Structure 1
């Protein structure tokens, strides 16, 4: 019997005096053996058996396993904390970015009323001191504008919507021109600014508009952190496979521990030297992101032997590393970049050919900001008859009464915003021909797309130039007169709008109108049916109708049906439901809703009103 394992004695015969145990756990056992002869039982003999545990069940293994489990748990907890902290930092950065963008939108409107009038003052004759003061104001106003644009650029980079177009550029002349625009700032701060070029010409493929932002940010930082009497040097050189630009200053410098952190978004060095220097903390982050779009790198390091810092840009030579679709050749070069600090404009620079007076035209201004509304009215009043409203609801209520030739509207307004107002204008038969210019501080691509999709003819971002706005108004009015003619008198109420078209376009319109007339009662009449009948693609049909009639195929079909409905209601003695079904409407409510959106009243009210007018005229 095995004590601790067997509960009773096991009997074996003398022919098989063995005991076998195969499933003993580790530990100490006592094996007892005794003999039995009839009724006699011998004294039990005892054998001590010790079974050692496997290595993984030893005490040392248990301690090690517990320690390992603790370390894994601790590491997992730390990883969770870091992930949670990273998510919280990302959320906080997103909130900061959204806050800055919201503030930027608010700043754009008053900035419009600073830059544009200031440019007008600069263009006027004045003494040298006034010109100097105006120049300082103009430079700082543009600095605010650049900061706003930096915030927008960071958002575009986050969304992957930053547009880059590369062209071969001489870095030496490109950077020298930017540096020259800082001469006034260098003189005022008594700082020496020098550009050292290894060669007279170093060609590289860059996006001038975005790369200028990088150089501007680095130079602005250098001036910000360099004391009076200091020196800033820009080195331009060519390495084996890349071009290198170094912006070096002998300012307060940076620590090695901060050389990477300064490129983090919103990071600012906290030291007694930088405590009184303010900034947004996004300039270097944006600069590195833009350099990386050029497949290059931007890094910082302390200056050797002297106090100061060096920012180094390295971008590959040639264009094999770039996407072919992003390259721009000499046939379609981008415009030259704007300068970081603009020269004080003279009257000759800002003189524009005055727009031809159009006193017969009426412009509707819709803007909730009193100052900018009054400013627009004063600027346009010498050229046009101007009416102004503070929101879309007020403007829409007077739209049919005033019938302006062009609408100038803000987007963000109380009661009815500009997008809703634009939709209502473009969906009404009497007003869908009116050009609309949207003015807004919203500069995201999706905002622009939404504005254009509603039918707006132009989308201007604040701050804007009134000279550009005036010329845009002239062009829109002239172009609209070429492609669309309004009804001339009441007798043409039920006729289609006269269209000024060329002979091949006239043939196309005749075919389209024949198909519409023959299928006007067909509920399936649409652009596909028109395209199939004429023998062109759906996209081509839509584009041609838009060019010729300024209407989509759907709107053209709707216009014809509504005019035909108005004619039948007045001249035929049939009820509204019969009119609806005869014009391809399977739903009476849909017909009534569409009719009311075009004429402002229901079909029944329209018929009664026209009959009353006819009786009044006859009497």
Structure 2
């Protein structure tokens, strides 16, 4: 082990020894600095005592040894009681001033004590690195008072004979060097701390700015989503009759309530932080009230295929509670749990009564101090989910303003970021406590404890709440409507917000056959299976986000041709650029005009129709290099042409055989070719055979029957009918007319 390694090992041991539970980095740094300050000075002072002893200066040596022993004693006590660093700093610096005063008086005053007065100044200066301004002020006041007293006592003091003028000068220079060194150390420490503080402040401001930007982006998304539904359903261009409008009143009202809830959350938080929020207790049975609060969330959980379990041992519990505060606490905690719990997961919600004697440190981390409850019973509300969990280092931060956990599911879990902060402040206002324990990959448990009392006026609580679940009109709109009267373009809607999905379905219902998915993973599966004509996808969704959906479908030859419209509340250019980089064909921001959405969809389908002629004629042009082509549609058609080129002469080669060669289902092949060329798979195979036959009619001397057999038709008459339909004349006349035209040209 080399020298630097040993030094590093010693440094780690010192860090471990001085690190205490719950320490901040600043506390550890202060503790270590004071330790090194004492350790550096003690050997030097002890050595000087020995030197002066051998020089016969017994009084001087004794003074140095008294100072050494006193410093050693302070150091040893500090090592044992290292938590109270500032107290030991104060004791040490006051000792410097006291020792300086006694030594000056003993050795004959300021002029004859060899600059011992500087020891007190050194103590006062060193305090600048450790103490608060108020503590430093009193230190300097006492030091200055000691100098004034020494000056008044100077005529009465007698110099010690062993302190000769030469030794007095030497000690003066020595003490001046000590004070200079102390001043240097103090200034260096101050500058280092100042630079470090500025750097930390800059980093903090940068991080705060980043978090604020994310917060405002997320809160904008939270506002834009309900606004999309409200503004959309009240848009005059929809021309809804009174019956249809009446059916959608509950949809508009629910999204209006969501906006109101967001605004109230922000106002409540402002009131809490300004200490302006009042508690309005009522005394009633809290059990039916909690039942009414969780009812909407059971519907929401079922809708997400989450197993929601509620348990309580209390059939009746009369206590004081504030209905608004309790609703805010329970609603935010349950919303959080449902938001982060994946489909197929579980949430356990339980209510019980417990005594305050149970040690709270077994519940997990709490952002609030330990409570001394004035109640013999506590209401315990426990919510446990099977979500992704939270890293231990992030748990203390989730109750901070603007902070949101970074995770694989972050894209779908972006919200206002106020919920847990609001819960913490509400619980604190109610003199309770909140705890969280979490294991990454296993889930999170939140526990709220509130004191039970019966002091408020008794009130009969009326159970009155609005269902937050999905209305019947939304459920009905979720059903895919299959039309048999005429063929409509197939539109796939990938949107996790049921109200927004319902609104899009209402806007597009008459013009498209609708498919829907509430998450990206299922949306990709539906797209690959059904090959829709166009897709609308939200960006922030469960599982994978809209960008990933877009990239996945655009890189799959089965779905690469499908136009994709990304729908989001994000209006910044960076988000739009990211969408286009992933292959999006259009970008629509919430809230949107229904006419704009319909026009975008219509124009994208028109563009796809215009490309059909190009893709259809690929079978007639010379075959380009597939590796040079970057268009996935061209690559697909050229690959199809390559297969047809090998098998077109076999009369048994059909659409089923082609789909097997391409590795996709027959229905997928049908939808893909229909979207690209306007032809079914069977018609596309025949078109290719006829295109080859056309070349043989023009450039070979084979008779028409021979050409028909060569291109895979075992019925020459059927071949002639198809040829005539495709090219406008029978094969024989086509050859004759072409030959005549060539001759006339010559």
Which TM class, normalised by the smaller chain length? 0.3 to 0.5
User: Which structure features the higher share of strand residues?
Assistant: 1
TM-score (norm 1): 0.39
TM-score (norm 2): 0.33
